[in-house]
Structure 1
């Protein structure tokens, strides 16, 4: 946006030309600031997306940890029961061997 050249014989024309130049300069400064703010907005959106993804990953990992902890507890209980059952069977087997 370039203002029309002034009529050098007219003081008013020169003043209008200077105002147009100043307005054009302000316009480009505002456009530049808008571009910088839009770039910053894009960066923040990317960071927000990453933070949300990390939060979802953390929630998923927390649930997976809880599930595995529960599975581990169940397996340890089953192991204890199997060891007890095995010991009972050994005792029964030894009694049978002793009585034969």
Structure 2
């Protein structure tokens, strides 16, 4: 059963009917205003949810980037250590080679 938001025309002979008609008009206008406000609030809610989703995504992206940075920093440290070990080993080999060249 659908409710009408339009008041039935009043019976002009009845003061009570005119009063009910006037109240119905006021209530209908208030109802339209409330519906409009609800629609605006629903739209605002959607905007805020979208912003929250974006913020959470950026937070996850930042956390992912931080993890990648830490992993790359560790990999860089490991590579630098390997490089210095290779340089040391190369230097030892050069010294051994020079000793062999000098003794021959």
- Pairwise same-fold verdict (TM > 0.5): yes
Unaligned ranges ≥5, structure 1: none
Q: What residue is the counterpart of 2:75 in the other structure?
A: 71
Separation in 2 of the partners of 1:12 and 1:79? Answer: 98
Task: Give deviations 1:56-94, integer Å, cap 9, x for gaps.
Answer: 000000000000000000000000000000000000000
CA RMSD across the alignment: 0.4
Q: What residue is the counterpart of 1:9 in the other structure?
A: 13
Tell me the number of residue pairs that the alignment of Structure 1 and Structure 2 aligns.
100
Unaligned ranges ≥5, structure 2: none
* Matching of residues 6-85 of structure 1 within 5 Å: 6-85=10-89
**TM-score, with length taken from structure 1:** 0.99
Equivalent position SS for 1:3: coil
Separation in 1 of the partners of 2:101 and 2:23? Answer: 114
**TM-score, with length taken from structure 2:** 0.95
